[in-house]
Structures are given as structure tokens and as C-alpha cells.
Copies of this chain bind each other. A is one copy, B any other.
Amino acid sequence: MSEIIIKDIEGGVCAPKGFKAAGTACGIKGKTDKKDLALIVSDVMCSAAAVYTTNKVKGAPLEVTKRNISDGKAIAIICNSGNANTCAPNGIEIAEKTCQTAADSIGADKEDIVVCSTGVIGQELYIDPFERGIPALMQQLSYQGSASAAEAIMTTDTVPKETAVEFVIGGKVCKIGGIAKGSGMINPNMATMLSFITSDVSISPEMLDKALKEDVKTSYNQICVDGDTSTNDMTVVLANGLAGNEKIVKDGDDFEAFKAALSRVTVYLAKRLARDGEGATKLIECRVSGAADDIQARIISKSVIASDLLKAAMFGADANWGRVLCAIGYAPGEFSTENIDVIMESDKGSIQVCSGSRHKEYSEEKASQILAEEEITIIVDMHQGSGSAVAWGCDLTYDYVKINGDYRS
């Protein structure tokens, strides 16, 4: 494969050609000016692919979206925050009406609309806010609207999350952009909370689906805030083909370039989701090498960043590596725990705290300095193979408890 040059650019989901977006406050979050409704529209029909939560309790919008993109096509995404439309009366009916309202405004078929909801579970959602909000969104829709849409999908997120990249396929400049929201109830499995990715690459629905399914294994499925797999997790990618590249319909260099660029977008957003986990003050990255294979490495790295005890220790800047070993030890699967090295690292330096599964003398003072930083990396070498993986999480803080002790009021 030839070298792929990927450049970070501005613009989020509107960076790729032909995508407009907007966000507005339509009243789902109550009488507030907090945005709660986002719309992303492509100028032309897109190849579409999505991955969904593995939770058996699923939001009604997931069912409707699944049906709508079963033909591999979509033209727009409508998403509300403040209400998950899950375990709610008439959920399917409301999700379908939302699609219809959006489709009528855009001049599209309702079967070409992706619909998503995020927020409180079990409360009834009404169509009125959508009927007010969608016309407002149509007026605001612009090729610079990504930030507004990114803001409108937030719940307890403290910052909007967007990114975009540029790369070249067959001489054509291609772009991929994305927005995401997360915060709590985050332990994605085959999807994340909500992430919308756009691209102007020309690619078949089948290859788009393949790229996304492979991608989430090392991006969204490798993050964890609290181990709670949400009912509404969904990642959707729309690719409208306006970059003018030769359509990607099979494996090869072009597909690899697309996947590499997609990974740059999703890993960036995944890390931002972890860093902005509810109450979090730190991003915790765990890099595992020397595992039997990549799958085992993924499981081990995720077990480490998911441990409440390790998360609390990171909040306290305590190099309590025994909790790393403990979390490795209860990760599913059969593997040796006899010869594990652990290094803790940040911008302030690097320190080995465990060698061959045993304590290694180190300066607690230096360790505290390293762990006082906002981005911590825990490096684990299992010494038994060539499998490697990375996972991202956050610390467990007083504010996580505070936020979730009283989320609804």
C-alpha cells in the first residue's frame, strides 16, 4: 500500500463537500435555550452504514433507522437530545413521524432519513417540538453548521466534539468529518453513544459498512466511561461521493486509505468522548503489547481502563499498579499473568512501576508528578505474543457521583 497522507482540517461534518448542518433549541430539554435538535443533510443521496448498541433494550429510533438504511442509502440525519425515546410510549410512531417531518422539509423520502435520540430513558417524547424545530433548522442549515449540530446532540457533555480530515484517493481530494456525543452510560459494544460521520468519498454501501464495522473495533468499542452499555448507542456514516474519486467497491489501496482516514476521525472522537466522560478530569489511555493477539490485547486494555478502582486511583494520582494487575487478571480469556511490565507515562515523564508482575522500586514523588497530568498513559507489556491494542477511559471522580446521583432533576 502506498503512503497515505492524512491532514487534520476544520469543519466537522460539514468539511466534506455537500453536507449542511444546523442545531437548534426546540424545547425537548424544557424551557431553556439549550440546543436539543440537530440536522445534517447531504446535497445528494449517500451510501449509508451504521452500527448499533448491543443492549437488548434498544431505543425506538434505532429500530426505525435500521429499517430506513437497510437499502444502504440515506440523505439526512435528524437527532434530538434530552430524551432517549427508549421504553417510552409510542416510541416507534414518534421516530417515524420525526423522519416524515424532516423528509417533508428536505424534499426527500422518509425512508432515507436517519433518526437518533439521546437523553433520559422512559419519558414520553412528543412530535410537537420536532414540528417547531425542523422548520427552524431548515432556515439555519449551512455548510458551516457542524459546530451547531455538535452542540445540539450534547447531554451531560461539557464540550462539543467534532473533527475532520483530508486525504487523497486517485488524485481526488477526499474528506471525512465527524461529530459525537457521549458522557455517561458509556461502554460501547459495536457502537458508541452517538457519532455521525460524513464523507464525500464515493464508496458502495457494502464497503462503507465493512469499513465502519472494522473501524469501531479499535475506536469506539475501545472506550469506557462507566461500563454501562447504553440503549441508544449508534454510529452512522454517510458518504455522498461528491469528491469524484473512482467509486470504492472492493478491497485495495483506495479502501485502505479511506479506512485510515476514517480511523483518524473515529479515534480522535473516541478519545474526546473518554476525556469528557461524566465528571472526568483526566484521559486515561492503556496501551497493551505482547498479548497473544490483538483481540486479547483489546480485552485486556479495556479491562484496565474500565476498572473503578484504577479510575479512582488515577483521580488521586496514585500509582497503584496492583489495580492494573488485578484488572488484567479478571479480563476474560486464558493467558499468563506471570511476566507483566507496567509503565505509567504523561507529559511529565515515564516511570516503570511493575516488572515481571512484581513491584519495581520507583520514586512515589515522581509518579505523583506524572499522574497529576490530564492525559495519562498506562503501558502494559504481557510478554507472550505480538498482539497489541489501545483503549481509552477517564478517572472516576466526585463529580461522576454528583452528576449521576441527580441526573434527572
Residues of A that sit less than 8 Å from B by CB: 54-58, 84, 86-89, 120-124, 184-185, 187, 189, 226-231, 306-309, 312-313, 315-316, 318, 320-323, 325-330, 334-335, 337, 354, 357-359, 396-398, 400-409
The closest CB in chain B to the CB of A409 belongs to: B318
Q: In the docked arrangement, what's the CA distance between A58 and B226, Å?
A: 25
Whole-angstrom distance between the Cβ of A305 and the nearest chain B Cβ: 13
Pairs across A and B, CB under 8 Å, 19 listed: A57-B325, A57-B329, A84-B322, A86-B325, A87-B325, A87-B354, A122-B325, A185-B323, A228-B309, A228-B327, A230-B326, A312-B404, A313-B405, A313-B407, A315-B401, A316-B406, A318-B407, A398-B402, A401-B401
With contacts A122-B359, A229-B329, A396-B401 known, what are 7 further pairs, Cβ within 8 A? A57-B325, A57-B329, A227-B227, A312-B401, A318-B405, A320-B407, A398-B402
Do residues A307 and B228 form an inter-chain contact, with CB atoms below 8 A?
yes
Residue numbers in B under 8 Å from A187 (CB-CB) = 330
Tell whether A329 pairs with B407 under 8 Å between CB atoms, given A227-B308, A358-B87.
Answer: no
Residue numbers in B under 8 Å from A229 (CB-CB) = 326, 329-330
Residue numbers in B under 8 Å from A396 (CB-CB) = 401, 404
The closest CB in chain B to the CB of A309 belongs to: B228
The closest CB in chain B to the CB of A84 belongs to: B322
Do residues A404 and B313 form an inter-chain contact, with CB atoms below 8 A?
yes
Most chain B CB within a 10 A radius of its CB, from A86, A315, A325, A401: A401
Do residues B121 and A322 form an inter-chain contact, with CB atoms below 8 A?
yes
Whole-angstrom distance between the Cβ of A374 and the nearest chain B Cβ: 16
Q: In the docked arrangement, what's the CA distance between A354 and B57, Å?
A: 14
